[in-house]
Structures are given as structure tokens and as C-alpha cells.
Amino acid sequence: MDYGIRSPQGQIWSCDSLETAKENVAEAPHMEIVAREAGGEWQTVPAGPIVWVLSTGEDYEGGSVLGVYASKDAARGPFVEAAKRIPFDLDQAWQDEESGAVHAHGGCDWVALEPHPLITATQLT
């Protein structure tokens, strides 16, 4: 995923990460954050607040939400506790460089902490 910022005139500047784009928009609120898949069209990224969703489940079986947190820091303890409850030895643990999401996997069980935009009003598509 590529991230950037777009001016009201439509000019786009690339950023090295979503966090960098957010920092740039915070300094220049007239700009908007955009993203695209490799070679794809630039799309506007929702600018609202971000919540962190903690979920757990089994491979190919789906999962359930354990909690929703206002910050990644607030979810750190609950994530660690959920990962400890995986009944198998952990075989993978990783952090996504783009979004900051963290994951733990053991056997067929997993725990994930992922950022999601908080929808505060009806969105038109």
C-alpha cells in the first residue's frame, strides 16, 4: 500500500507510511490522506479517529472481538493476556509496518490488534 497527501488542487505527494501522512495532514489540515494499491488509483483515507480492535479466533473459522480501545497503548495489556491464552506454543508474532497492527499465532489460534477508523456519521459512497 502506498500513502500520500493530496492538496485541494489535486497534487499528490508520496509519504513513506500512513503515520507520516497523518503527521503531514496534522500540520496542514487543508490536505487529505490518500492511499493506493501498487499501480492502482489514489483513494481518500477516512480522516476520523482511529480505534484499535482486539480480536481472537481460529484459522479458517472466523473469530470474535474481545475489545475496542482508544489507543494501541491502552490495548497492550489485553493483547498480551489474550496471546497468553492461546493453548499452543506461539509459532509467529509480527507487526505490520504500514498500519502498526500486531498479531500472534499459535497452532490454529490467533490474536490480532488492528487499527480501524471510527465512523462518527453516515458515510456516502
Summarised one tens digit per residue, pLDDT across range 93-102 is 999 877 789 9
CB 50 within 8 A of CB 114: no
Residue 97 covered by a domain: yes
Q: What confidence score (pLDDT) does residue 89 get? A: 92
pLDDT, position 22: 84
Cα–Cα dist 18/53, whole Å: 18
Q: Residues 48, 52, 57, 59: is their CA dihedral positive or negative?
A: positive
pLDDT of 48 > 80? The answer is no
- Taking the CB of residue 72, how many other CB atoms lie within 10 A of it? 16
Same domain, 7 and 64: no
pLDDT of residue 110: 97
Residue 118 has a pLDDT of: 78
If asked whether residues 99 and 63 sit together in one domain, one would say yes
In a shared domain, residues 60 and 95: yes
Q: What is the mean pLDDT of the chain?
A: 87
Rounded mean pLDDT, 17-38: 82
Residues 37 and 82 in one domain: no
Claim: this prediction has a pTM higher than 0.85: no
Number of domains in the chain: 2
State the CB neighbour count (10 A cutoff) for residue 22. Answer: 17
